[in-house]
Amino acid sequence: MSQSTPPPQEHTYTLTRDLDASASQVFDAWTAPAQYEQWAGAAPGTVEIDARPGGTWKAVMVTPDGQRIPLTGSYLAVVPDERLVIGMDVPGRSVPATMTLVFEESAGAGTTRVTLSQSCDSAQEREMAEAGSNMLLDSLGSYLAKG
């Protein structure tokens, strides 16, 4: 008799950052195309965001070496100023990769803790996704600090 086993957890990662901004400011930076373009490394004029459950997003990201990478996906869950669950289309994969962002504002401190988590299919995918997510969160922190 065979038993089904859960997917391996070693391909999951979670990152947190404390950012000097309100949850509303952080949420807007992720969901307003003009803001997202400024901090996320997207090519100018390529960001489209419809941040509602079932809404879609797309952007052409530009790597530090100038490579252009088109990305697409959809929003699986949206709770303004609190949570985003983003589906990311992956070529050759029948279901999207899922990234979850949770925004927790510190009462009276003017800061927000962002927790980003993602599960990947392989160690290599996890390594690449985690590196990209770290760069995104670092860039978001710098963008918000400029206020």
Report pLDDT digits (tens) over 31-61: 999 999 999 999 999 999 999 999 999 999 9
Domains in the chain, start-ordered, CATH in brackets?
11-146 (3.30.530.20)
What is the pTM assigned to this prediction? 0.87
Asked whether the predicted pLDDT for residue 28 surpasses 70, the reply is yes
CB 99 within 8 A of CB 76: no
